[in-house]
Structure 1
């Protein structure tokens, strides 16, 4: 599955508001879909590179030899789900914003895992 197909697939996840694929080392977005005037996905993806970097640094500082499966940020009306693709694509991560009133978090996590497995960059 190519990047554009992966983004389209992520947007079919219940409650999806927007999705991006970004590189946390460079801060660059490789693609994004959705969002709108309330959520600038290019800015959100770039800003969330700092979240991923901070968690990677924290694991190193704590000498935790493990990988991050996902990072969840819970807002009043949204979930922001970050899935680092470090096992397959180094410093890339999928970022998915969900409307809490329409999302099933467990299914969203499963959907991103499935997209990661099918992604071919």
Structure 2
């Protein structure tokens, strides 16, 4: 449920940023701040979950492996974004991000519903 809230907050902010970025610097900064919290929250929860399921002597190792795979995944996710930007400019990137977050939100909602059953 927490991931769903973070995904919805991120989706709302990504939709609003192109609409307000030329009109209000303060509102744009607030939206980027909310986006930062929405991105970092699940990242930190994932780190705490990894630390929770491992032995205390392996805490440094599990944190390192988690960081490695997180950053490799982020780098691999960046390649399609660059391809979309080169083909359809920044409006395509915003549409791509909204579609990805909507798919994430739908997946989290389905998982949340299945988990309750």
TM-score for the superposition, normalised by structure 2: 0.28
The structure, 1 or 2, with the larger RCO (C-alpha pairs under 8 Å, 6+ apart) is 2
User: Based on CA coordinates, which of the two structures has the bigger radius of gyration?
Assistant: 2
TM-score for the superposition, normalised by structure 1: 0.27
Higher-strand-fraction structure:
1
